[in-house]
Chains A and B, each alone.
Chain A
Amino acid sequence: MPHRIEVGFKLGIKDSLGESVKKRIIEDLNIPVDDVKTIDVYTIDANLSEEQLKILGENLFADPVTQVFDFDNPLAKDFDWLIEVGFRPGVTDNVGKTSKEAIEDILNIKANVYCSRQYLIKGNLKRELVEDIASKLLANPLIETWKIKSVGDKEIEIAIPEVKSGHEAEVREIDLDVDDEGLMKISRDRVLALSLEEMKTIRNYFKDPKVIEERKKFGLGGNPTDVELESLAQTWSEHCKHKIFNALIEYEEGGKKEIIDSLFKTYIKKSTDEIGKRVDWLVSVFNDNAGVIKFNDKWNLVMKVETHNSPSALDPYGGALTGIVGVNRDPFGTGMGARLIFNTDVFCFASPFYKKELPPRLMHPKRIFEGVRKGVEHGGNKSGIPTINGSIVFDDRYLGKPLVYCGTGGIMPSEINGKMSHIKEIANGDLAVMCGGRIGKDGIHGATFSSEELNENSPATAVQIGDPITQKKMFDFLLEARDLGLYKTLTDNGAGGLSSSIGELAQISGGCEIYLDKCPLKYAGLDPWEILLSEAQERMTVVVSPEKLKEFLELAKARGVESTVVGKFTDRKKFHVLYKNKTVAYLDMNFLHGGMSQMRLRAVWNAPKREEPAFECPENLTEDLKKILSRLNVCSKEHVVRQYDHEVQGGSVIKPLVGAQNDGPSDAAVIRPLLDSNEGVVVAHGICPKYGDIDTYNMAACAIDEAVRNAVAVGGSLERMAGLDNFCWCDPVKSEKTPDGEYKLAQLVRANKALYDCTTAFGVPCISGKDSMKNDYQIGDTKISIPPTLLFSVIGKIENVEKAVTMDVKNPGDLVYVLGMTKNELGGSEYYAMRGFVGNTAPAVDARGAVKMYNALSEAMKKGLVKSCHDCSDGGLGVALAESAFAGGFGMDIELKKVPVESVERDDAVLFSESQSRFVATVSPENKDEFESIMNGNVYARIGKVRNDKEFVVKGLKDNVVVKASIDELKEAWQKTLRW
């Protein structure tokens, strides 16, 4: 008989969780409640004696100092409403899993444990409101269930959310001898995301007499099995094959036409190839799970950035958690495997203060925000990887889909046991070993689902919850095995599961066999195609040579990491899948990976014309500056940053929060990955979707310049800096659903042109990237498309971290400089947005000019001449000056007439134009001459001084005071918006 152990806090002990839930019910849902308390419930599916239950309560589940427990008897009392939230069957229950292991330690019995939590609410509420609290805040119906009880209702019964299945595993043949409509129905119903042309290509393959003959030998017919069709759909998905980036595009602009054969090859790869001829530090680009560059003679750096947008829309916590632990596996699965040294995260949300009604299936942006934040917190912190850099961008179009970018960097010795660590070697006969978690139905169709817009059929199985500790254990074990030479190479199981991981590795040896019945499952009842395609988390596929297998499996056992041989690599050029010795898939490797045809698309660029704002320049800009500082895209994100461990691993040099009170906004991060060395890694990023409303060329150029600029601002240099491009677009393929596809595709083309132009000018090659092309929401007549968004991340090297610079001003009397030209570029600016305008003059980037200045600045920093340096971005010079001042704790005297400008005649334009490639720097008076002699030949000017008090004073072009405020007021304006 199952038992329930319930644990609550002793009287007088603060229930912090209950209190924060209470706060959110009142603030976010606007429902008045008097009190919320919590009780944790552990349902144990085993026959246990009272004595045993007491032992577990005392020694495991309840803390004797702060908590009380009871078993098989409700602990809850003194409430008006009780909501109990538990998981749906099959959803990852990490606490349940740990409890099972812990019970085994204590009682030496194996028992499944299921966790749930009770919220005891006091307040005069109707049942409907309690339902609202459950569904809008406490539980997500896709993964959780809840029960509501009022005082008078009967007790909640014991429930065991185990997966019950009488289903016998079966393999079906899918009849493709149907008309076009029938083919598309198959594609839609199975969430294959295959086009009609692709469906026909698949049908034709299976009709090829040679194919028919070969398949006959294995008992297969003239139609694909579900295993084959699903594998093809997954392998050919937009998510895996980047069909749009590889399409043949006819691009039209101003009457001129141009044929682009693959955006990726024409712009991204071409840039990297060209730069690669000039530099000697590119090690492995675009052909593994992450890009690899040289750190020094002995070590390589590895980095990857991914998105997890669609899952985060459905379940923000689980989606973001799997996003971060998922991207961890990319650098980890690069070459022979890298130790992970940092995470980055960039989120795009609608305003958390969104007040309008929400379209169906969409969650409130604040709930998305908090869920995503917590998911990344748990994923990063529990994995022991510092989250060192990130940002949050707000635009209400991200209501359609939030963007969750997660990046991870790693470091690996350039040689491991005499082999180049970045090269994957696999021979015929090597074994495919699956390590880590088990397979369930979780995440099935993740790859194909994310290749479609969010619609009413978006599958709940795409939602899953990550388990950072299972992954951490696996990573610890694999690093140990790597250094002992127990395996040859490895890759991660992400999108497409084993089909993808083994299928892709098999390209190296030339074929594979997979034994699906050998795969460890979380529960019975999975069909073979589900086992192959499941995207269940925390799994790596490791290539082990037969002679090392015994030793590998022994170490796995000693480390408590489940590892199972699930396949074999061959050179037979076939993707061969078996289930209980019967062939269930038999595909040519060539067809699987290269069978689909190139898409042909058309793009037409017509620059949008927007209203040009016309208003007088205000005489006093103090209030405008404060309002801009308070805007969501500018304000302090300390609330989020503090909840991420940004210094675990002991190598933190420049933290996300800097300055006199440890609360100023750092431009970039610096870490020392090798604790016995002063060599450092600089990590930064740029993202500015707002300029894309005018021209995505500028948007992309600004993102790249911003990323590079941020890195340079802390002491990074262009000598060794690599980029990662992450495109998140709304569907750019013209169709009935997307009539403006040609324009959206032209936006994509223009962003790529900018990427080529800027990366080649900066000499910052892309080493890895990713695209997510279907960031739309469509249900009924409501369509919400995200603004086209490019995140550009950079990773660079700093020779000596002691030369790094932070953005906070340091001493009274220091000279304030602006570096770079200020132009009339208010289009897309925060200043215009505040007044409800977009405008037409988006900032343009002169990358070649910027290179010279960035190099001069780097030289000045190496000589220790720069006291502080801050990048000018959102909110322009005004925000950069104010942030530098209040972060350092001193005011400033600034004269706008000294700022170098080009066709700017208004104070507001000087202060708030968002012209690129600019910095605010401070230099001590004794270093003035040396600093200026290095900067000479570039656009720069001395525009003021750091004061010895807290006054922040800006004089306008006519010497009148246009801003006068205390830095405390400015800081308060900047901090108050998201101080939750």
Chain B
Amino acid sequence: MRMNPKVLVLTGYGINCDIETQFAFNLAGGDAKRVHLNDIIHGKESLDDFHILAIPGGFSFGDDIASGRVLANKFKYNLRESVQSFIDEEKLILGICNGFQVMAKLGILPGFDKNYREQQVTLTFNDSGRFEDRWVHLKVNPESKCIFTRGIEKLYLPVRHGEGKFVSKDREIRNRLIQQNHVVVQYVDEDGKFAGYPWNPNGSENNIAGICDETGRIFGMMPHPEAFCHLTNHPRWTREKLEGEGDGLAVFRNAVQWVKEKF
């Protein structure tokens, strides 16, 4: 496609990484627009007009009851069908941090057998019992079909959450996530090895930081790629010779590129 892919960046109700997420998509060649959830619910804007849906980080509804739960219900009870058709049209959905929490609780991740309506996994309180802002090393699963991480081997990004511990409902689900390569990114140490806290900042099972559905088009992750789109975002940019661009930008470039090829 010749036009820049259209990206809907969700806002409202306490979402708060919308501006930098919009900026990241635009930097990557997208045409991103911040749209208030109510404007979609009230029909002022339609998901049909976009190729990518991004649910950014933040504190929707203040994390009240549980992170992402109430926003997930807003989708579930108001926009279930439009989200389903967005998925059916083979478009992309990205959830970051609070966005990932929403997707997990809504059931569009992991979306086994294309059933996007049943909650199988969750993101719950960090083992430390605390919100933490901390940069983490991520290893990308080379076998994953995830569109957003194509060509990426590793990432260094910040996590900023109190409820990021990934838990599956049971062992069967846990195994299936691994075996069928739903796991996209995992927390590792500087040498790329699995290690405990603080490298795995929240106690996630199997060090899982992000998963995708079986198509690779729907992806959620706890770390913030939009927070590393400029080299000076890196916590050690004054001491390490960094080149190129921020690690996070590749995630957005991949999404934009894929839409350009596909549509």
Contact = CB atoms under 8 A, between A and B. Distances in A.
Interface of A: 13-14, 16-17, 19-20, 59-61, 63-66, 94-95, 97-99, 101-102, 105-106, 377, 381-384, 467-469, 472-473, 476, 558-560, 641-655, 657-660, 662, 672, 675-676, 801-802, 804-806, 808, 810, 888
Contacts of A660: 236, 239
B64 A94 contact: yes
Interface in B61-90: 61-66, 69-70, 73-74, 76-78
Contacts of B128: 16
A156 to B, nearest CB: 21
Nearest to B228: A650
A966 to B, nearest CB: 20
Contact of A645 (B77, B127, B133): B133
A394 to B, nearest CB: 22
Contact of A647 (B62, B129, B203, B233): B233
Contacts of B24: 650
B233 A65 contact: no
Given A384-B58, A647-B160, A60 B129 contact: no
Given A473-B14, A558-B38, A650 B61 contact: no
Contact of B64 (A99, A472, A473): A99
B239 A650 contact: no
A384 B20 contact: no
A19 B16 contact: no
A815 to B, nearest CB: 17
Nearest to B13: A473
A649 B56 CA distance: 11
Given A14-B203, A61-B65, A642-B133, A469 B59 contact: yes
Interface centre among B44, B124, B134 (most CB of A within 10 A): B124
Contacts of A642: 130, 132-134
B17 to A, nearest CB: 6
B41 to A, nearest CB: 10
Given A16-B125, A382-B14, A655 B235 contact: yes
Contacts of A101: 61, 70
Contacts of B125: 14, 16-17
Contact of B230 (A105, A383, A675, A804): A675
A98 B62 contact: yes
Given A101-B61, A641-B133, A647-B233, 5 more contacts: A14-B125, A99-B65, A102-B73, A377-B131, A805-B238
A660 B44 CA distance: 49
Nearest to A658: B235
Given A66-B122, A472-B14, A810 B239 contact: yes
10 residue pairs, one from A and one from B, having the closest CB atoms: A384-B16, A650-B20, A98-B64, A16-B129, A65-B122, A20-B129, A469-B62, A382-B59, A16-B125, A95-B64
B2 interface: no
Say what secondary structure dominates the interface of chain B.
mixed
A65 B120 contact: yes
A13 B124 contact: yes
B105 to A, nearest CB: 7
A453 B134 CA distance: 40
Nearest to A113: B65
B262 interface: no
A660 B126 CA distance: 25
Contacts of A467: 62
Contacts of A99: 64-65
Given A384-B58, A658-B238, A473 B132 contact: no
Contact of A102 (B17, B36, B70, B203): B70
A61 B122 CA distance: 14
Interface centre among B120, B130, B168 (most CB of A within 10 A): B130
A19 B126 CA distance: 12
Contact of B11 (A476, A560, A806): A476
Interface in B22-77: 23-24, 36, 38-39, 42, 44, 57-59, 61-66, 69-70, 73-74, 76-77
A641 B132 CA distance: 9
A568 B211 CA distance: 54
Contact of A648 (B69, B126, B160, B167): B160
B254 interface: no
B65 A102 contact: yes
A61 B42 CA distance: 26
Contacts of A810: 238-239
A472 B38 contact: no
Contact of A650 (B23, B59, B76, B168): B23
Given A99-B65, A650-B233, A806-B238, A65 B133 contact: no
Contact of A888 (B38, B66, B235, B239): B239
Contacts of B133: 641-647
Q: What's the interface size class on B, roughly? A: 35 or more
14 contacts: A63-B69, A64-B169, A102-B69, A105-B73, A381-B59, A383-B16, A469-B13, A469-B14, A469-B62, A473-B12, A558-B39, A643-B131, A643-B132, A647-B160
Contacts of A651: 20, 230
A105 B38 CA distance: 13
B108 to A, nearest CB: 15
B167 A60 contact: no
B157 to A, nearest CB: 10
Contacts of B131: 377, 381, 643, 645
Contact of A66 (B57, B124, B203, B230): B124
B158 A647 contact: yes
Contact of A672 (B42, B69, B120, B230): B230
B257 interface: no
A472 B130 contact: no
A646 B227 CA distance: 11
B98 to A, nearest CB: 10
A801 B230 CA distance: 11
Contact of B129 (A19, A650, A658): A19
Contacts of B127: 14, 16
B188 interface: no
B106 to A, nearest CB: 11
Contacts of A13: 124, 167
A361 to B, nearest CB: 29
A19 B130 CA distance: 11
Contacts of B230: 650-651, 672, 675
B229 interface: yes
B64 A63 contact: no
Given A98-B62, A98-B64, A652-B233, A63 B122 contact: yes
Contacts of B65: 60-61, 95, 98-99, 102
A240 B62 CA distance: 32
B195 to A, nearest CB: 14
Nearest to A656: B133
A14 B124 CA distance: 10
Contacts of A61: 65
Nearest to B232: A653
B4 interface: no
Contacts of A806: 238-239
A469 B13 CA distance: 7
Given A16-B129, A468-B62, A384 B69 contact: no
B215 interface: no
B121 interface: yes
A13 B69 CA distance: 19
Contacts of A59: 73, 76
B58 to A, nearest CB: 6
Nearest to B16: A384
A59 B74 CA distance: 11
B97 to A, nearest CB: 10
B236 A476 contact: no
Contacts of A383: 16
Contacts of A648: 16-17, 20, 57, 160, 227
Contacts of B229: 650, 675
B178 interface: no
B199 to A, nearest CB: 12
